[in-house]
Amino acid sequence: MYSRYLKEFDAVEKNTEKCDLGPLTNWEEVLGSLDAKKVDMDVNVPNTFVPGKTAAMAAFQDFCDEKLKKYADNRNDPNLDVQSGMAPWVRFGQVGFQRLALDVKKLGKYSDGVAAFIEEGVVRREVRHCEDEAPRGTKCHLVAPRYSEVHSKLTRRFAPRTTQLSDNFCFYNSNYDSLTGAAGWAQESLQLHSTDAREYTYTKEQFEKALTHDDLWNAAQIQLVNEGKMHGFLRMYWAKKILEWTTSPAQALEWGLYLNDKFSFDGSCPNGYVGVGWSVMGVHDMGWKERDVFGKIRFMNYNGCKRKFDIWDFVRKYPGAAENALKAGGETAVQKKAKGSKNKKQKTR
């Protein structure tokens, strides 16, 4: 596939003909259209990403020099921060993933990291739904060999952080931001468990202000607000907890998209819709063991995160996350660790 499709860009040829450029863009009208769509103009724009191709390629060079060698094994650890961080520039068209893939292949080293980076960015981007098993209302574009093989690729690692796969889903599924856009098994399962008792429920404002009992969730939300992006692994946990702590799956999807659209650089775009949709309604995933609230949607919990990385190392980077959890009646990662050590000692006596 790479040899056939992953090729250098064609050389740009100078235009020798006169062009009628038409009227100049009316930028006031453009900004007015944003207001009409109720874009929240009061959200502070984080300075974590400098716009433009020059800044994008500088960030990519840093990724290649410092992070790529660790990427294959450590990209799901929020504390190590070895993800490329290229999503904002790719999302706004300031650099193409084609360029990144071509450049990373030319390095000739860190083969595992290169393979993982391209697998995340190209293989998953090019997978397409099989028409007979795609969500209702969709049409097949490029049919994958077998849907089971597609599932194997998609679920081998967590979360689709993709562009073209997401674009394809949103283009061919007019209900991409609604539960009716989910696969049949997911709709049925979520409906069956929609009235299950929830241990915790929060308002949209409480979510937005990171006022839950969970210090890790609060830290992820604060990262999103402060930096315009959260670590890819944490967005899965973040969105799944919204499903767990709201009164219905429809409300969870609505609020998850609202928060992502409001604060994330990939908000209001296919990658954001599918990122939240994967967590809440199983987009591009398969059915898992049935449980309360989640039904057959893939489950994630705090202990699972604890096994993958040091939660407190992440939480303490975001002031307010632990304090808010305590105010909401929760425990911090430090307290849970101390309690676990105490229980372990008692069992060994």
Can you give the residue ranges of every domain in the chain? 48-176, 185-342
Each residue's pLDDT tens digit, 137-177: 433 333 233 333 343 344 333 344 455 678 889 999 999 99
Question: Do the Cβ atoms of 121 and 101 come closer than 8 Å?
Answer: yes
**b (16+ CB within 10 A) / e for 28-41:** eeeeeeeeeeeeee
Identify which has the larger pLDDT, 163 or 91. Answer: 91
For the cut 80, the answer to whether the pLDDT of residue 327 exceeds it is: yes
Name the DSSP class of 14: P
Per-residue pLDDT band at 20 (split at 50, 70, 90): confident
Each residue's pLDDT tens digit, 92-146: 999 999 999 999 999 999 999 999 998 887 655 444 333 333 444 433 333 233 3
- The label of the residue with tokens 């299950």 reads 196
Each residue's pLDDT tens digit, 304-313: 999 999 999 9
The pLDDT value given to residue 129: 31
| Spatial distance between the Cα atoms of 155 and 297, rounded to a whole number of angstroms | 13
| Spatial distance between the Cα atoms of 79 and 69, rounded to a whole number of angstroms | 16
Handedness of CA 317, 42, 279, 172 (dihedral sign): negative
Q: Which two tokens stand for residue 234?
A: 């944490």
Which residue, 15, 19, 92, 82, is CA-closest to 51? 92
Query: Counting Cβ atoms within 10 Å, is residue 159 exposed (0-12), middle (13-18) or buried (19+)?
Result: buried
For the cut 50, the answer to whether the pLDDT of residue 328 exceeds it is: yes
Q: What are phi and psi of 81, to 5 degrees?
A: 50, 60
Residue partners of 172: CB distance under 8 A and separation at least 6: 129, 134, 138, 139, 140, 141
Residue 194 has, within 13 A of its CA and on its CB side, a CA count of 15
Each residue's pLDDT tens digit, 234-279: 999 999 999 999 999 999 999 999 999 999 998 888 889 999 999 9
Residue 246 Cα distances to 31, 253, 302, angstroms: 34, 10, 17
Each residue's pLDDT tens digit, 53-64: 999 999 999 999
Which of helix, strand or coil describes residue 228? Answer: coil
Structural fold of domain 185-342: DNA Cyclobutane Dipyrimidine Photolyase, subunit A; domain 3 (1.10.579)
Residue partners of 33: CB distance under 8 A and separation at least 6: none
Residue partners of 233: CB distance under 8 A and separation at least 6: 76, 77, 78, 158, 159, 308
Per-residue pLDDT band at 6 (split at 50, 70, 90): confident
Instruction: Domain 48-176: state its class.
Output: mainly alpha
The pLDDT value given to residue 166: 83
Average pLDDT along the chain: 86
| Spatial distance between the Cα atoms of 49 and 145, rounded to a whole number of angstroms | 39
Name the percent of the chain lying above pLDDT 90.
Answer: 65
Question: Do the Cβ atoms of 153 and 247 come closer than 8 Å?
Answer: no
| Spatial distance between the Cα atoms of 235 and 280, rounded to a whole number of angstroms | 11
The pLDDT value given to residue 125: 46
Name the percent of the chain lying above pLDDT 70.
Answer: 83
Per the DSSP assignment, residues forming a β-bridge with 295 are 291
